[in-house]
Amino acid sequence: MNYRKIASLLAGAPLLAAMPATAQEAESGRAEEGPPAERNFDPGILGGDFITVGVGGALSPSYTGSDDYVFSVLPVALGNVGGVQITPRAAGLRLDFIENPDQGVGFDLGVAARLRNNRAEDIEDEVVLQYGELDRAIEVGPSVGVSFPGVLIPVDTLSVSTDVMFDVAGAHDGTVIAPSVSYTTPLSRGMIASLSFNAEWADESFQDYYFRSDPLTFTGVPGDALPAYEPDGGGFTSVGANLLLGIDLDGDATNGGFGLIVLTGYSRLVGDAADTPFTTLRGTRDQFLGAIGLTYSFGL
């Protein structure tokens, strides 16, 4: 059994998993209040093929750079099927085809995909809305990473990964690179925490599509149009951090069942994403995220 599987599934996105007590504790009926001190515990359903599904509600900016927030309902899915790890990404998922070893450094190689709805719906700002809704982008591409176990305790994991995705739907027709660093550790038998730092880089085509301000496309009263703005080219669009808590409702994730996820996040827009008048005049560089959801895990 790859004991880092549970932590690596959590490292990239909001979902539920928890680390069990040691095998000796399970046999004696005693459980530690803190995280397990050994890696030779019984992982239960999480030791084989399993699926976690759920649904959550999120409060997030109505578009990148907005200071208006909208509520949305989002699905959650993760698991391990036939050695393929399924982990969620923001508005998408990743498939990892390389199983990490039980000991030592692990490597990840797979495919990531996401649906980008930026300015495609739920635009709350009446001025920005007059520039029209944009098309939804479907971004797909390779994902690579490396994970280091036992950084502070035997069952924690430090992961570094990068997704390189290309728009295949013909919306922005650009390339997005999303690097991240995450630290995942159990807090108790039924709770796990994951702290991640992330950034996003996008090419010129992406920047022009989302951040260019052209008065000729404004359909409202001409005097309300925003100043013209032309992005400089490719560059970073944001940097940020997310904190996830996963809580098993019966205190033991190894037997499956219901759980809760709680996610908070903050990102700071940079470059053209911060300088466009969609942000400077109608919104803010500071972007916040909050989400809570209910999950259910079961073995296959």
| pLDDT score, position 91 | 83
Percent of the residues in the chain that have a pLDDT greater than 70, as a whole number: 86
Average pLDDT over all residues of the chain: 86
Structure tokens at 9: 């599934």
| For range 173-188, the mean pLDDT | 94
Q: How many Cβ atoms are within 10 Å of 110's Cβ, its own excluded?
A: 20
pLDDT-above-90 percentage for the chain: 69
pLDDT band at residue 33 under the 50/70/90 scheme: low
Please state, in angstroms and rounded to a whole number, the distance separating the CA atoms of residues 193 and 195: 7
9 contact partners, CB below 8 Å, separation of at least 6? 15, 17, 78, 79, 80, 85, 86, 87
- Distance of CA 142 to CAs 36, 60, 73, 299, Å? 34, 27, 27, 28
Q: Closest by alpha carbon to 272, among 198, 210, 197?
A: 210
- What confidence tens digit (pLDDT) does each residue in 216-254 have? 999 999 999 999 999 999 999 999 999 999 999 998 877
Say how far apart CA 75 and CA 86 lie, in whole Å: 14
Higher pLDDT, 5 or 119: 119
Q: What is the DSSP string of 141-180?
A: EEEEEEEEE-SSSTT-EEEEEEEEEEE-SSSS--EEEEEE
Pairing assessment for the beta strands 191-202 and 175-188 based on DSSP bridges: antiparallel
pLDDT in tens, 102-130: 778 999 999 999 999 999 999 999 999 99
Q: Report the first-to-last Cα separation within the chain, whole angstroms.
A: 15
Of 88, 141, 132, the closest CA to residue 111 belongs to 141
276 contacts 213 by C-beta, under 8 angstroms: yes
144-153: pLDDT as tens digits: 999 999 999 9
Average pLDDT, stretch 204-218? 97
Q: For residues 241 and 81, what is the distance between their CA atoms, to the nearest angstrom?
A: 29
**pLDDT value at 285 more than 70:** yes
Number of domains observed in the structure of the chain: 1
The pTM of the full predicted model, rounded to 2 decimals, is: 0.85
- Burial (0-12, 13-18, 19+ Cβ within 10 Å), 260: middle
Indicate which CATH number applies to the domain containing 40: 2.40.160.40
Task: Residue 87: give the domain boundaries.
Answer: 5-299
Cα–Cα dist 70/58, whole Å: 8
With bands split at pLDDT 50, 70 and 90, how would you rate the model's confidence at 3?
A: very low
Find how far residue 177's CA is from the centre of its chain.
14
The most distant pair of C-alpha atoms in the chain lies apart, rounded to whole Å, by: 75
Rg (CA), the chain: 21
pLDDT at 42: 66
pLDDT tens digits, 67-106 = 999 999 988 888 999 889 998 887 889 999 998 787 789 9
- Rounded Cα–Cα distance for residues 97 and 95 (Å): 6
DSSP element (H, E) containing 266: strand 257-269
pLDDT for res 24: 33
The one-character DSSP state at 282 is: T
User: What's residue 26's pLDDT?
Assistant: 33
Q: What pLDDT shows up at residue 16?
A: 33
